[in-house]
Amino acid sequence: MPPSDPKTKKPLDIVVKFALSVFVGSFALIWGGMYLSRPDRSIPPYTVGAQSGILVVTDVPRGTSDEEVEALVKRFRKVGHHTHDFARMKIYPTTPGDSGGPYKQIMIYVFDDHGWTDPDVLAKYLSGNASVVKDYEKSMRGYYRLLDQEEDGGLGPMPQDGRVSSDTRVLFKGRVTDPLPIEAEPERGIAISPL
């Protein structure tokens, strides 16, 4: 047997190779999962507080700017145009069992105060409680409405019976079959990707 050369390296044992591949693979899986499940920063964070029939009330954090609320309303519009499936937006079907689809009609109100999205407050609003109705509509930050093929959205209180409040700024009104205007992509938040 020839003497072993001290300069030659021994190959890594198969167990060590396996342990290193598991170690590196686990970090790749964690990074990939974090990247794929990152929040959408092009719209403000929101929660669905309550739903009653076709009415859905959502809230955004206090201090959310009008531009951010506008981005959220436009995202609802985009969903209405492309997929008509608001389940990805955390909304339960508003017209379940309807031949026109589970979201044939939907009205979404956006608030920046979680108190207005409470199911009890929504029930009082829907019952016509005068002390709640006035403040409820005044507190609205935005709205999106889809009724069959007609849609509209804006900032401020939703127009009632065709009357637009002075606090309302209508962003769009038309049919879901109309082409969406081409808009610049919103600025994205800080990505966690090193690429």
Domain ranges of the chain: 12-41, 47-175
Percent of the chain surpassing pLDDT 70: 88
For the segment 182-191, the average pLDDT, to the nearest whole number, is 55
User: What is residue 57's predicted lDDT score, i.e. its pLDDT?
Assistant: 94
**Using one digit for the tens of pLDDT, what is the confidence trace for 130-181?**
888 888 888 999 999 998 888 999 998 877 766 777 788 888 888 888 887 7
Q: What is the rounded CA–CA span in Å between residue 85 and residue 92?
A: 10
- pTM metric for this prediction: 0.73
Locate the DSSP E strands across 53-118. Answer: 55-59, 105-111
For the segment 95-107, the average pLDDT, to the nearest whole number, is 88
User: What is residue 108's predicted lDDT score, i.e. its pLDDT?
Assistant: 93
**Using one digit for the tens of pLDDT, what is the confidence trace for 40-70?**
677 888 999 999 999 999 999 998 899 999 9
Nearest by Cα to 132 from 151, 119, 145: 119
Q: What is the rounded CA–CA span in Å between residue 126 and residue 105?
A: 17
For residue 31, which phi and psi values (nearest 5 degrees)?
-60, -45
The overall average pLDDT reported for the chain is 84
User: What is residue 73's predicted lDDT score, i.e. its pLDDT?
Assistant: 92
